[in-house]
Amino acid sequence: MIEVRNLFKRYGAFEALKGIDFEVAAGESVGLLGENGAGKTTTMRILAGFIPPTSGTVKLAGHEIVFESKAVRRNIGYLPESVPLYGGMRVQEFLDYRARLKGLRGREVKPAVERALGLVDLVARRRSLIETLSKGLRQRVGLADALVHSPPVLILDEPTSGLDPSQRRDVRDLIQGLKGKHTVLVSSHILPEIETTCDRAVVIHGGNVVARASIEELKRGGDRDRFEILVAGPLEALNRALVGQTDLRSLGAAVAEGEHWRLRLETGDLVRGRALLVARLVAEGLDLIELGSSAGGLESAFLQLIGRDQEAGS
Amino acid sequence: MRNLLILTRRELAASFSSFGYYALLGAVAAISGFFFFQALEQGGGDLRWALVGSSGFIFWLALILAPLLTMRLFAEERKSGSLELLMTAPVDDWEVVLAKYLGALVVFTTFFAPFWLAHLVLALFFDGPVDWGQLSATTLGFSTVALIQLAIGLMASALVSQQLWAALFAFLGNMALYSLGLLRLLCEEGSRTWNLLGYVDIGRHVQTGVAGLVDLRQVLLQVSVTLLLLFWTVRIVEVRKWR
């Protein structure tokens, strides 16, 4: 449904996208993951037909983005990052206008607007002026706009940006509800958001795609597992326990927590690494208080992919 | 065509629902009414004279009004980000440009409503010898000049992101256009340049209208230049996407 090939975008001398490739199958929900400035919004804007690529090809719903831009725009629902809306319009009036602009005619408009209002739970606020709505509600109006003409493809750029935790959860639930009914491409730098709403992720860093895999594959990804320990005993003994362990690497220094020490570690084989560590700790006379996974699977994988794992560990 | 109607309706709704429009309309009505009735008094109640007497004021008013009406059209949408929403809908760039232009033109024309109202009141209640032909020609004269002024304003708004800059550029553009007519004073009367500048002198176009005349050559020139400016505006909108 979405096919991106060798996509470049230059702004003067600055190269925002350096030949990215990825595809999204029909009905799939894919996250575009990356830090701020990685090139996510540029990619989304190109896919939405707002800016043209410098080179490369993009096909959406079978249409080429440069030469059939209007046909592409007819097949997408786009939520820009900043959700720019016309504040002086009422919610229903705005959706009515947008539905007509997106090609709905006469009798099709009213049911489409009702459906979109229902989907985003804004029926009670239909008469509200957009400028009087909270950021969370405005985000929902933006989503209703993206959905009003039932497009096969949804492009959502940072849909939960700037929202409070409760609003974030609402929007996340809404996006989850769209899975399967639409092809969804969501960009975000908030990892739990991608983890809960998407089947797959495309990781973008510095204008390049550094990974494209299912969320599970990404979480397992790389050759390193991380975990965290809390031990009781002298620091010297803890350091001795780790000396000579080629398969165990500490990520930063041990942090004192009362009389205990907390330490993050990395290993090539989680089961073997943990067993080995426990044996060494016992041999050094240390008490193991806690042993748990560290720094969430996807976060860990993401940091590895963008080369920030060392920073995260320190 | 359907998108053009939807977009124009939206532009008109945005203008007619804004406090700024009514504040401006009120101010224009009050000031133009003052000048109109002053000219009426000076002319001993002759409506034809009143319209001629106040036309100079209307001309300067239009020079200021056009940039004020057009400055927000693209600049505001760009600044607020709503241009992204608009341009990712399945619409053509020319539809957006033309809708904004037509909206501004209709809004501009409504600023002549006080003149029509004044004539109507005089005709109905004071049995005034109203020359509707002269009034129509005056309105047409100003509207055709406004065609170019609004097109210049729209182009300025497409070029910059700040409304104030857009208004300033539009005003300077309009002044430059007006200055072409003033250059005529430096030329030898009857010379080819003198004649040529006479064709593009917008002040003269307004005078023709106020005299109750419609010169189709002037209308054609205004329409042609307007179409050219609108074509450039569409190109500016397109080019700004590629930057």
Question: Tokens at residue B58, please?
Answer: 């209307």
Of A84, A88, A100, the CB nearest to B85: A84
CB-based burial label for B9 (10 Å; 0-12, 13-18, 19+): middle
Residue B64: Cβ-neighbour burial (10 angstroms; 0-12, 13-18, 19+): middle
Share of chain A above pLDDT 70, in %: 90
> If we measure between CA atoms, which residue out of A289, A274, A290 comes closest to residue A241?
A274
Q: Which two tokens stand for residue B176?
A: 């430059």
For residue A133, give how far its alpha carbon lies from the nearest alpha carbon of chain B (Å).
16
Q: Which residue has the higher pLDDT, A156 or B46?
A: A156
Q: Which residues contact B120 (CB under 8 A, 6 or more apart)?
A: none
Which of A161 and A113 is assigned the larger pLDDT? A113
Q: How far apart are CA B7 and CA B10, in angstroms?
A: 5
CA dist A58 and A64 (Å) reads 6
For B130, phi then psi, to 5°, come to -75, 130
With pLDDT > 70 as the criterion, what percentage of chain B qualifies? Answer: 96
**Dihedral angle at the C-alpha atoms of A207, A213, A219, A225, nearest 10 degrees?**
-80
Taken in order A157, B85, A53, A62, the sign of the CA dihedral is positive
pLDDT of residue A161: 75
Q: Give residue B194's pLDDT band: very low, low, confident or very high (50, 70, 90).
A: confident
According to DSSP, residue A13 is labeled T
Q: According to the model, what pLDDT value does residue B128 have?
A: 65
Q: Which has the higher per-residue pLDDT, A222 or A29?
A: A29
Q: Of the ranges A78-82, A192-196, B68-72, B104-108, which one carries the lowest mean pLDDT score?
A: A192-196
Q: Which residues of A touch B14 (CB under 8 A)?
A: 86, 88
**Chain B residues 2-61 with CB within 8 Å of chain A:** 3, 6-7, 10, 14, 17-18
> Which residues of chain A have a CB within 8 Å of the CB of B3?
101
Q: What angle, 0 to 180 degrees and rounded to 10, lies between the N-to-C axes of helices B132-159 and B72-80?
A: 30
| Per-residue model confidence (pLDDT) at position A297 | 63
Cα–Cα distance, A248 to A265 (Å, whole number): 7
Tell me A131's DSSP state.
Answer: G
Residue of A78, A100, A138, A148 for testing the chain B interface, max B β-carbons within 10 Å: A100
Task: Name the residue with higher pLDDT: B138 or B223.
Answer: B223
| Distance separating alpha carbons of residues A56 and A21, to the nearest angstrom | 9
Secondary structure class of A257 (helix, strand, coil): strand
**Contact: A84, B84; criterion CB under 8 Å:** yes
> To 10 degrees, the CA torsion angle through B22, A85, A100, B111?
20
Q: Which B positions 147-206 lie with beta carbon below 8 A of chain A?
A: none
Secondary structure of chain B: what % helix, strand, coil (to 5)?
Answer: 85, 0, 15
Q: Which residues of B fall within a CB distance of 8 Å from A70?
A: 90-92
Q: Is the pLDDT of residue B77 over 60?
A: yes
Residues of B in contact with A80 (CB under 8 A): 81, 84-85, 88
What does the block give as tokens for B136? 């129509």
Compute the Cα dihedral for B103, B105, B110, B111 and give only its sign.
positive
